[in-house]
Amino acid sequence: MYAAAHYRVQLPPGPTGSLHTAATTLDLRIGEPHAELARQLSARGHARITLITAHNPFSRPSGATENARRQEQLRATITSAGRPAWPATSGDPDGEWPEEPGFGIPDLPPAIRDHWLEKFEQNAVVECEPPRAPELVWHPRLRSGPGP
């Protein structure tokens, strides 16, 4: 389910004078290298991006009000950590699972990523450090065995 999902992130405008000054929306797929993401991150002074949501903890469907509350808590956590956050979404290509809003966070340290996976009860995040392809990084307690 996670590997087949589609992921989208909207990068903000790059620095004035760079070749990538416009906001850019990129579609990512697990296991598929993305040269444009590498160029866009580099133009903005970043090396890696992590996509995370707070919706539907541990893949248990939650109502709209609860998901919105959790997402706002994630946004506040990102802000209080002093991290930039760019709009992101993930969705099921078959439409059986609702699209989930999230955030793309550049250069998120692994220790913070793991803490947020635990705090927001997420099975996985998407992480990409070009030239490597986007990959799933599982919740710490799921890393010892195969993911869902």
Residue 58, pLDDT score: 96
pLDDT digits 0-9 by tens, 1-29:
788 899 999 999 877 656 656 788 999 99
Q: Where are the domains of the chain?
A: 6-142
pLDDT digits 0-9 by tens, 96-140:
888 999 999 999 999 999 999 999 999 999 999 999 999 999 999
Residue 20, pLDDT score: 59
Residue 97, pLDDT score: 82
The answer for residues whose C-beta is within 8 angstroms of residue 137's C-beta and 6 or more apart is 50, 113, 117, 124, 125, 126, 127
pLDDT digits 0-9 by tens, 33-53:
999 999 999 988 999 999 999
Angle between helix axes 110-119 and 64-80 (nearest 10 degrees) is 150
Burial of 91 (0-12, 13-18, 19+ CB in 10 A): middle
Other beta carbons within 10 angstroms of residue 147's beta carbon come to 14
What CA–CA distance (Å, rounded) separates 130 from 109? 16
